[in-house]
Amino acid sequence: MHLDSARELKTALVQKHEPFVRRALMAGYRVRAAGPAAGARTISELGIGACAVTSVDAVQRTLALGITRSGRNDFRLAVRIQNRAFEHGPHIEAIHKQAKGEVDIRYIGRVVKRVAPWTQTRRRPLQVGTSIGHFSITAGTLGCFVKTRQGGQVRILSNNHVLADENRGVKGDAVIQPGRFDHGRKGRDTIGALDRFVTLKKRGANAVDAALAALRQGMQFDAGMLKGIGKLTGAGGVLDEDAAVSKVGRTTEVTHGRVTAFELDHVIVGYDIGNLRFDDQIEIEGSGSGPFSQGGDSGSLIVNATRQGVALLFAGGDQGGSNGQGLTYANPIATVLDRLKIDLLY
């Protein structure tokens, strides 16, 4: 049908549909048991079970009506069923008849608001895998907690580009949790300050993308728990191909994967400051049908099958891998720890 006709039909059906729902709800608040009361049939069509009257929502899931394209200049009525009770009922039959069969009917079930994953929310005590960042960047991931080899001071470990804004940060800059893209704000959400970082080099090979943040005095944290994975057990050694790994990160939360290459040299990674070369890196693909990481997971601590920290996630792409969902790249954790002269806290 033409677009104007589809719009007119949709408007007419919405006007017809709304009074039915209103009557059904009013009847539902009156009816206490099956009986001849007016509206008993309509409320039963909503599929509301026996429950306290006060617990029945004032707005019920029924049908959503819209328009969808079926050809270049041809349109259909889009009927979206949100309650199974309507799937084969007389209302669908009536709509189908009135639209002369030019309908696209789909069951979509219950639709709920999109809630930010726990990793993207404000977490106190601080937790591994949550959103964090230098106050001027979008957001990355809090990799883990470490202690300095000299003095034993506690620090947060993540990437240079997460905590130090690709070399642009200076010692003392505010670090916030959650990160700016997750509604974190300098001051209110400041949990510490940039301490030091390994400089990212534009010439020659980089080995790590890593930085440390000092905690604000009195800031509480959970050092060793990777939510959804388990307790960190220490630092691991060399990873071989096919080794099973996991991580918890700001964007994709808990994911599992396997090592597809190691000691990878001449990996070129795009940064704001230009293309940078990395040597001796680890390559990982996700298990199943999903990616191992996505943007915002940078800084995640990667652990092996026995929950030892083995690598620091810093980059990835959306192509490649056996499932076509992209590959992830990470610095060996031993190199990170040695360059920053730190040890894992667990």
pLDDT tens across 221-256, in order? 999 999 999 999 999 988 888 899 999 999 999 999
Q: Indicate the residue type of 154.
A: V
Which pTM was predicted? 0.74
- Beta strand 308-316 with 234-235 is parallel
Tens digits of residue pLDDT in 223-232? 999 999 999 9
CATH topology assigned to domain 225-344: Thrombin, subunit H (2.40.10)
Query: Would you say residue 148 has pLDDT above 80?
Result: yes
Q: How far apart, in whole angstroms, are the C-alpha atoms of residue 294 and residue 317?
A: 8
Are the C-beta atoms of residues 282 and 261 closer than 8 Å to each other?
yes
β-sheet bridge partners, residue 212: 157, 196
Sequence ranges of the chain with CATH classification 2.40.10.10: 118-198+208-217, 225-344
**The pLDDT of residue 295:** 94
Q: Map residue 230 onto helix, strand or coil.
A: strand
> What percent of the chain clears pLDDT 90, i.e. is strictly above it?
63
Domain 118-198+208-217, architecture per CATH: Beta Barrel (2.40)
